[in-house]
Amino acid sequence: MKHTRIVITGIGLTAPNGNTLAEFRHNLLTGVSGITMKEVRYMGQWPAGLCNYDPLKYQKKKDVRIGTRAGSISIYCAREALADAGVNLEARDKSRVGVYLGITEHGNVETENEVYNISQFKYDVKFWTHHHNPRTVANSPAGEVSLNLGTTGPAYTIGAACAAGNMGLIHAAQMLRLDEVDLAIAGGVSESPQTFGIFAGFKSQNALASHADPTKASRPFDKARNGIVISEGGCIYTLERLDDAVARGAKIYGEIAGYCVNSDATDYVLPNPERQAECVRKALASAGMTVDDIDIVNTHATSTPQGDIQECQAIAAVFRERKEPPAINNTKSFIGHAMGAAGALELAGNLPSFDDLIVHPTINVDELDPQCDIPGLVLNRPRAVKRVDAILNNSFGMLGINSTLIIKRYIAQPIRTP
């Protein structure tokens, strides 16, 4: 069961710089940032990553009104993934379809909006909407997907701070291996820029990015980085057991090779490079791989002064024994920190490397921080490479949750003959 092969067969996404994988990838290879200025309640203009997908492509106006932004993003991404995968849900047992979505947080948007709303009525709670509870329950985005698709299998979210995007895929692989479902619709979503609280919180923590040019605000590894750019987005995959995918002739983007989720157990906010390195090593062991097998490392680095250094230390510690380092990049430099969607989006931005053998860069690195100067960094321009057979994707989150996911190129095993 543990070794049942799980593959990715469809991808749907919306990022601040693209509403399809093709558009997203093109912009990652041509240096196009998606960060703009946003008016944040009580706080004025701040850099943020906002998506411009069409909610009405898959939802009625009324459903957009009743639901949440995270739910709408989830529905768009799930439908796009299913279309990409060529899956006809109507021909399937919908009770065997699972929806597993990673979230950093959920409900802050609606609660803030309602508090603001009643503030216009002298805080009289009779003006508080009855939609508040269904909008803010933690399973809400996944539930909205099940309502939209009519799937009757398990549909819930996985709260894992900013490690959540990877967690959606990891959990999907586990449920497929347990034979709980036949098709998993999984990934991560974020509606975070629609709240002021997350901006205010990071600002109070001295961890909110500021820059006159919003496209330059997210700059991991650069000496002048000054914090996180908060973004929304979503990326949802269809995952299947390999046999099922092959049987229906599905296109296969890659195969789950291994993963690890662990905890720092050291601090509410500050990362722990030792535990991060352990997470990466355990993921490699889970994949039956060594450091020599990894071709791309997509970093979690969020453009904070301390966090980037600590992740670089962790990666350098793991890969120091390699003669030729893997290519190391960062997607947040283009799209900011998409929170619960980050891991899933960042993986999607790198999966096309299996086909085009190009590694997208980290942009906005005008002066590399010497403390982030580790071997293998791909800076400012894409790099052509000779081999991409395995991608290692890091996502770490508050309260010390770490996730590493390794995707490998899908290679069909030769058919055995008697």
Partner 1 sequence: MTKEDCQKLVIDIISDIAPDENLSDIKPEVRLRDQLQLDSMDFLDIVMELRKRHGIEVPEADYMQLASLESCANYLTPKFQTRA
Write out the residues near partner 1 by the rule CB under 8 A.
60-62, 65-66, 121, 126-127, 129-131
Q: Which of 290, 255, 236, 275 is CA-nearest to residue 406?
A: 255
Instruction: From residue 22, give the alpha-carbon distance in Å to each of 14, 27, 31, 76, 115.
Output: 11, 9, 14, 16, 40
The residue (of 124 and 367) whose beta carbon lies closer to partner 1 is 124
**Residue 133 CB, nearest approach to partner 1 (Å):** 12
The residue (of 56 and 178) whose beta carbon lies closer to partner 1 is 56
Contacts of 152 (CB under 8 A, 6+ apart): 94, 95, 97, 146
* Residue 103 to residue 114: CA distance in whole angstroms: 21
Bridge-based pairing state of the strands 296-298 and 327-329: parallel
The residues assigned a catalytic role are 162, 300, 337
How many other CB atoms sit within 10 Å of the CB of residue 382?
Answer: 18
Vertex 356 angle, CA 350 and 361, to 5°: 45
**Residue 60 CB, nearest approach to partner 1 (Å):** 5
For 26, what's the count of Cα atoms within 13 Å in the CB-facing half-sphere? 7
**Residue 279 CB, nearest approach to partner 1 (Å):** 44
**Residue 62 CB, nearest approach to partner 1 (Å):** 5
The residue (of 61 and 323) whose beta carbon lies closer to partner 1 is 61
* Residue 389 to residue 185: CA distance in whole angstroms: 24
The residue (of 75 and 284) whose beta carbon lies closer to partner 1 is 75
Q: Which two structure tokens, joined as six digits, stand for 1?
A: 């069961």
The residue (of 43 and 115) whose beta carbon lies closer to partner 1 is 115
The residue (of 132 and 223) whose beta carbon lies closer to partner 1 is 132
* Residue 389 to residue 353: CA distance in whole angstroms: 9
The residue (of 63 and 244) whose beta carbon lies closer to partner 1 is 63
* Residue 407 to residue 259: CA distance in whole angstroms: 9
**Residue 124 CB, nearest approach to partner 1 (Å):** 10
Q: Is the dihedral of CA 283, 385, 164, 199 positive or negative?
A: positive
* Residue 313 to residue 315: CA distance in whole angstroms: 6
Q: Which two structure tokens, joined as six digits, stand for 31?
A: 């240096």
**Residue 153 CB, nearest approach to partner 1 (Å):** 25
Q: At what angle do helices 342-350 and 21-29 cross, to 10 degrees?
A: 70
* Residue 398 to residue 388: CA distance in whole angstroms: 31
The residue (of 65 and 323) whose beta carbon lies closer to partner 1 is 65
**Residue 56 CB, nearest approach to partner 1 (Å):** 10
